[in-house]
Structure formats: structure tokens, C-alpha cells
Amino acid sequence: MASRSRRPERRQEPLSRERIVGVAVELLDTVGERGLTFRALAERLATGPGAIYWHITGKAELLAAATDAVVAAAVSAGPAGPTGSGGSAGPTGAGPSPQDAIRAVALNLFDATEAHPWLATQLATQLSRTPWGTVAPRIFESLGRQVRAMDVPEAHWFTASSALMHYILGAAGQNAVNAEGTDTPGSEVDRDEFLDTVSTAWEGLDPDDYPFTRAVADQVRGHDDREQFLDGIALVLAGITALHSPGR
């Protein structure tokens, strides 16, 4: 009688909240919010929906947790690239200056919204509906600590940090929307062609009603979104420094 060979037991990674959220982020990246269902999540995790509900109560909590996971990774990461114009280094051996730390957080969040097309919408939702959750305080803390390190007077901490936060999320969110419109599969829109169309339309505006818009129309062509974003951060930081420098 032939002996049957035993199948090696298949080891599965224990189901945890962190693993569920990680797979949820993967699903959001590939199929979007509509495709993120507990059935799809259960299939990807090779488990039953009931096991997932033990860790996550519903889709709203799942989306919030996925958003927080991506944001946490962004604000805790180091510099994501060149600091752009207006960069300033801290003292030798003392690490990055507060301004450089802010630029790093800003650029990491900018890149996160590009890498995760669903993130911009979820950030707006989380910050407007549940600002007491983990997402808003996490971003605010990462910026506010650096604002404080810039010697901004305490009475102006909230305003300065809010200005940075609103610019970062607004500009990053708009860039994500623009990128989604030109990168959608099946879309025939090319970014350079799109910008050229905008520039041409602005150049054709009435010179009496839109003299300034016509004057900058050519600057729209071929501009670099990341560089423009960092230039905006430099402007906000310069304003904070000018208004709240010690001894002013």
C-alpha cells in the first residue's frame, strides 16, 4: 500500500488590525473606495468577514484607519527629496532645521496624495467630519512642533500651524485631483497638452478684464508641480518668520 505524502501545513500570518489596514490600503490603491468591501477584504486576507469585524466595526472606521496609517508613515518619514528653494540647514551636526523638517513633512504628504489617489478625498473627509480623530492631530503635531522650534510666540502657534496645514493639504489635494484626471486609464489627456490648453486659453482672455492672468499664462506651460509646491511652502515659512521673528 502506497504511503500518502503529507501536505506541508500552510502558515498564515495572524490576523491583526495592522494587517487588515495594510490590505485595505492596497485595495484602495488598486480598486478605489467603491471596491473596498468587507467581502473583497476577506478574500484578500483568506478569512471570513466576521473575523475582520472583530478588529474593525465598519467601513467608516476602516477608511479612517487606512488614512491614518498613510499619514503616520508620511509625517514620520525623513526628508523625501530636495528641499527646494529657500532651504536652510541647521547647525552642523544638529540635524535639519525646523524649516527643513516642515518641508520634509509637506513633501512626504504631497507624495502620499500622489501615490494614493483616494487619500486627498479621505483627508478632506476626516478633517471636516472628525477633526477630533487621529489624522488632524497627527499632522498638526508634526507641523506645530517645528513652528514652536522656530521661536514663534505661543499666541501665534495655532494660526501659523493652521496656515501651513491648510496650504499643504489644499495644494497637495488639488495636485492629486489634477494628476488623477490625466493619469486615469483610458484617458487621452496628456499633462503637457492640458497645461498648454490652459495657457492658450488664458492668453486669449480679454486684456482689459484679465491683464494679470494673461501676463502669467506662459508660466503655466511645463511648470513642475513639486517645485511650485515647495516654493509655496517657502513663501508661507518666510511670512511666518517675518511676522514672528524674535524681537519684532
Q: Map out the domains of the chain as residue ranges.
A: 82-182+191-244
Cα–Cα distance, 91 to 88 (Å, whole number): 10
Give 136-159 pLDDT, tens digit per residue.
999 999 999 999 999 999 999 999
Amino acid identity at 133: G
Q: Among all chains, which residue has been given the C-alpha cell 501659523?
A: 160
Give 12-59 pLDDT, tens digit per residue.
568 999 999 999 999 999 999 999 999 999 999 999 988 999 999 999
188: helix, strand or coil: coil
- DSSP result, 47-105: S-HHHHHTT--SHHHHHHHHHHHHHHHHHHS---S---TT----STTS---HHHHHHHH
In our burial notation (b when 16+ CB lie closer than 10 A, e otherwise), range 58-88 reads eeeebbbbbbbbbbeebbeeeebeebbeeee
Superfamily of chain region 82-182+191-244: Tetracycline Repressor, domain 2 (1.10.357.10)
pLDDT (0 to 100) of residue 176: 85
What's 159's DSSP letter? Answer: H
Question: Which is more confidently placed, 90 or 188?
Answer: 188
Helix axes 135-149, 59-76, angle to 10 degrees: 20
pLDDT tier at 11, thresholds 50, 70, 90? very low
Question: Which is more confidently placed, 136 or 189?
Answer: 136
Give 158-182 pLDDT, tens digit per residue.
999 999 999 999 999 988 887 765 5
Give 50-108 pLDDT, tens digit per residue.
899 999 999 999 999 999 999 999 999 765 443 333 444 454 456 789 999 999 999 99
pLDDT (0 to 100) of residue 60: 93
pLDDT (0 to 100) of residue 167: 96
Cα–Cα distance, 215 to 108 (Å, whole number): 32
- pTM as predicted: 0.82
